Structure 1
Amino acid sequence: NGTARPSARGVTIEAEQVFSNCPKYLQKREWYGSDAAGRGTGTVRHGEALTPDQLRRVRAADTFFVASAGPDGVDTSHRGGNPGFLRADAPRELSWRDYPGNAMFLTLGNLEADGRAGLLLLDWETGTTLQLSGLAHTEYGPEGRVTRFRVERTAETPAGSPLRWSPPEYSPANPAAA
């Protein structure tokens, strides 16, 4: 947690509270560099459901970030696994198994208190970003925890990030995708 302020070089973040996320399911990538000239060259495409191309990219994702809010603030956490761990069950329905991590349960607790959530998926090689907002809840069953996300809004930005990364070296801790 902290404060972000505009600065001459972009944004300055003053950290007030920091904790480490579980590194277990992080894919290793090498940074290729930046394509600042191509940043944000495409028109942002908005929608209320995932397109067939977006569904394909969601199903191929090995990493995404989930933002949630609770009574004490907001949180953004990493979720990772082998391609297929993030399921696109329908154009407005996603789900993922909750793998054991740092046992802090910030995201799960926030979703229990307030189901609003945002997901960010990156195309690491092109910089295209896919932002999803909607409602999420976690189901508890004999197979473990599964979080279900209902898409309400989509925003895709071609070349939205100037950063370019290599294909992943998958974490050995990743469970097999179902």
Structure 2
Amino acid sequence: MGVYHAGSRAVQDRVGVREQADHVGRSVGRGIREIAAAFLELQPLLVVGAAAEGRVWASPLTGSPGFVRATGPHRVSVAGGPLPSDPLATAYATPGTPVGTIALDPRTRRRMRLNGRLAPTARGFAIEADQVFSNCPKYLQKRQSYEFVPDRRPGEPRRTAQLTDDQAGFVTAADTFFLATVHEGGADASHRGGNPGFVRVDSPGELSWRDYPGNSMFLTLGNLAADPRAGLLFLDWTTGTALQLTGEAHTEYGEDRRVRFTVREVIETPSALPLRWSAPEYSPANPDPAG
């Protein structure tokens, strides 16, 4: 599988960055290097993006460091699995499901993405990698430490067709979210960050955010050009609440690129993650969201 498909190429050409994209794309491979394997084994959080029952979702998985680890030159194994109510539960149990993953470490402002195909195992699942690469720390907020909260238990998930007022406040206060996208035969999970207010709630059924300059690969916008389905994941880094949205997104090209997301379904799970992180130090690269 090549690094780029027609959707990404179309966006690169429109923005005029094909040469830069080709240069960056040379860092993408199938192999999991020793430094990448060591990074994965330190992480308590993995975000997975995939399609299930026609919709695309981003799903959080947590565990003690080591719950995600490289078990072969092109294979990652994940111990455990999602909550029974997670919208990707059926996808995790289906061999060959295309998945995108991102492991993000706020302590070091490092992130790693691995895309491939899922294989259920006795202890959880494995992923056979098609693409493995790292991203720069741009727009990634630093959180110095985290702790496990052993007595925290997930609450009853709340499903709605649109955002409630409280959920809209959750979104506009966020400094980070994860974005799952797909294309024919593949999936991807990426990170978006900025100062609070960088995601705008235009109505209970529509969000938008400015697409800040990045690595010129345009994997996410390329996927959306090929398939508009998308899933968003917002986390409360203190209480562990997870807000998952699914719908469709498209890119508006103007003075600034803006992505507009139409909400189809919302799942809010209180205390979904047993992690409590320290307060953020915002990235110096974050633009003023009012600008």
The answer, yes or no, to whether TM exceeds 0.5 is: yes
Cα drift, residue 22 of structure 1: 3.2
Asked if 1:145 corresponds to 2:145, the answer is: no
**For the residues of structure 1 that align with 2:220 and 2:253, how far apart are their CA atoms?**
15
Give the conservation status (yes or no) of the 8 Å contact 1:127–1:163. yes
Alpha-carbon distance, 1:159 to partner: 0.6
**2:178 is the counterpart of 1:71:** no
Partner-residue secondary structure (3-state), 1:53: helix
CA distance, structure 2, for counterparts of residue 164 and residue 50 of structure 1: 24
- Report what 1:168 is aligned to: 280
Q: Which runs of 4+ in 1 moved over 2 A?
A: 2-8, 10-17
Task: State the SS of the aligned residue for 2:151.
Answer: helix
Write the mapping of 1:1-178 to structure 2, written as runs, cut at 5 A.
Answer: 1-2=115-116, 3=118, 5-6=120-121, 8=123, 15-40=129-154, 42-142=155-255, 144-178=256-290
Superposed displacement of residue 37, structure 1? 2.5
Q: State the alpha-carbon separation in 2 of the partners of residues 52 and 24 from structure 1.
A: 30
Unaligned runs of 5+ in 1: none
| Whole-Å separation in 2 of the counterparts to 1:157 and 1:37 | 16
Name the Cα RMSD after superposition. 1.6
Q: CA separation in 2, counterparts of 1:120 and 1:73?
A: 19
Answer yes or no: is the 8 Å Cα contact 1:128–1:160 preserved in 2: yes
Structure 2 gaps, min length 5: 1-114
> Match of 1:24, SS?
coil
Q: In proportion to residue count, which structure has more helix?
A: 2
Following TM superposition, by how much is the alpha carbon of 1:36 offset from its aligned partner in structure 2, in angstroms? Answer: 3.5
Give 3-state SS (helix, strand or coil) of 1:39's partner. coil
Aligned partner letter, 2:260: R
Task: Tell which has more relative contact order, 1 or 2 (C-alpha 8 A, sep 6+).
Answer: 1
Deviation at 1:48, TM superposition (A): 0.4
Secondary structure of 1:57's counterpart equals helix
Q: Which TM-score applies when normalising by structure 2?
A: 0.57
Deviation per CA, 1:39-67: give whole Å up to 9, x if none.
31x10000000011000110111000000
2:160 maps to amino acid: G
